[in-house]
Amino acid sequence: MEKILVLGGGVAGLTAARELASKGLSPTLVVPQDYYVSGPSRPLILSGEQSLDRITRGYNFLPKNIEVVYGSVKDVKTEERKVVLSDGRELEYERLIVALGLRYAYDAIKIVDRVYNVYDLGRLFDLKNLVWGISGGTVVVNAPKQPYRCAPAPGETVMIIDMILRHRKVRDKVKLIYVDGNDKPQPPVIADVWLKLFEEAGIEYHLSKQVSEVTESGVVLDDGTEIKADYKVILPPNRPVLFEDWLEVRGPKDLRLKDYDDVYAIGDVAKLPFPKNAEIATQSALNAVAKISEELGLEASYVDYKFSGWAYVGNRSGKLETLSVQFSLDFSEGKPKGSKDPEPKREYTERKDAWEQAVLRKLFGY
C-alpha cells in the first residue's frame, strides 16, 4: 500500500488524513503535540463567552487506519523521500502532504516591551487579564499586511476589547487605536462595516501602516510615525513553519509542488490566491487527496474554493453577548465574488460557534 505521510494535525492535515483513510488508505499523521486548539473563536475567550476546553481536542478518536506520530518536523529531504524529526527519527514516504501551517514572526518586528494577542495562548490569557483589570490608558491593536491567518481576527479583537471596557464602564477612560497594514480592514468584503463600527465606537484607526517596532512608550510605524500606547496587542507577520516562504503549488486544484510530483502543500503553508482560514484549508486538502486518488486509480472529486464566514463585532451596549456580521466569498470563477449582511446579529455568533464545533467533531471524532 502507498506510504503517505501527512505533516501537521490541524484542519488541513486532519482533513487530508481522514479523506485518505475513507478511501482505504493508511496515512501516517505527524503532529507536534498531543492536542489541538481551534482558532476561530479564541477572541471570545476574552469576554468569557468561549472556554479553552470547548475548543481543545486530542487525537485518540481518529480512525484506526490513521497512524499518529508525535514529533516536531526538523527537515524535509525531498530527494531522499524522508522527513527528519527533531528527536532524530526519520520517516520515509512515497507521497508527502505538507500541512505544517504558519508561525507568528515576532522576529520581523523590533519588540522591547510586552505584547499581547489572541493567537498565542499565554498572550491571550494575559490580554484577558489586562482588559478586565485596566481602568485607563491607551491600547493599540494591529493587523499585519496580508497574508495572515483569519482575516477578521484583529478587527474582532479590538471590538471585543471595546465591549468588555463598556461592560466594565471604563471605556471612556481607555483610548483604543487600530493599525492595519492593509489599505482596508480585512476581509475587504466587510471593510466598510469595520470602518463604520470603528467610527461609531470611537476607535482611532490607521490604514496602510505596519508596526515595525514596539517600544516601552508605544509603537513605531513603518513610515516613522510614533503612536503612544500603554498596551500593545500585536499580531506579527505570518510566516510558514519550517520553510523560508509559502510553498508554491501548481494550482488551486493541483496542490503538488512545482518541482515534485510526490509532494503536496495544503492549508496555510501553501501559496494560494485565497485567504488563510479553515475553509480554504479544508478545500485545499480535499483537492490534494482528489489528485492522489486520481493518480492511484481511485474515485476523485475536486471542490471549488468558496465559503461563508462570520466576524465578531462586539456589542456596543456593553452586554457580554458578542454580535457578528456574516459574509461570503466565492472563488469558483477566478475573480472573487463577495456578499454580506452588514447588520450585527447574535444569531451569527451562534452560527459561528455551531460551525466550529461541527468542524471539531468531524475532524477529531467528538
**Average pLDDT in the 268-284 region?**
98
Cβ distance 274 to 188 under 8 Å? no
pLDDT band at residue 1 using 50, 70 and 90 as cut-offs: confident
Structure confidence by residue, pLDDT tens digits, 164-173: 999 999 999 9
Helix (H) or strand (E) holding 357: helix 346-364
| pLDDT > 90? residue 350 | yes
pLDDT over 70 percentage in the chain: 100
Which residue from 256, 362, 366, 307 is spatially nearest to 22, judged by alpha carbons? 362
What count of other Cβ atoms lies within 10 Å of the Cβ of residue 112?
8
The predicted pLDDT at position 319 comes to 98
Cβ distance 215 to 186 under 8 Å? no
Structure confidence by residue, pLDDT tens digits, 337-349: 999 999 999 999 9
The predicted pLDDT at position 334 comes to 82
pTM above 0.95, yes or no: yes
4-32+71-101+241-303 and 104-238+307-364, same CATH topology: yes
| pLDDT > 90? residue 335 | no
**Average pLDDT in the 239-252 region?**
98
Mean pLDDT of the chain: 98
In the chain, where are the structural domains located?
Answer: 4-32+71-101+241-303, 104-238+307-364
**Average pLDDT in the 154-183 region?**
98
Give the C-alpha separation, 251 to 248, whole Å: 9
| pLDDT > 90? residue 186 | yes
| pLDDT > 90? residue 311 | yes
Give the C-alpha separation, 246 to 238, whole Å: 10
| Greater pLDDT, 1 or 55 | 55
Q: Looking at this protein, which amino acid is placed at residue 100?
A: L
**Average pLDDT in the 184-196 region?**
98
**Average pLDDT in the 275-287 region?**
98
| pLDDT > 90? residue 352 | yes
- Is the domain defined by 4-32+71-101+241-303 classed in CATH 3.40.50.1860? no
| pLDDT > 90? residue 233 | yes
Question: Lowest-confidence range among 117-121, 305-309, 333-337, 362-366?
Answer: 333-337
Give the C-alpha separation, 198 to 185, whole Å: 10
Which residue from 291, 307, 305, 281 is spatially nearest to 255, judged by alpha carbons? 291
Q: Which CATH number applies to 104-238+307-364? A: 3.50.50.60
Task: Give just the sign of the alpha carbon dihedral 361, 362, 363, 366.
Answer: positive
DSSP 216-276: SSEEEETTS-EEE-SEEE--PPEEESSSSSPEEEEETTEEEETT-SSEEE-GGGEE-SS-B
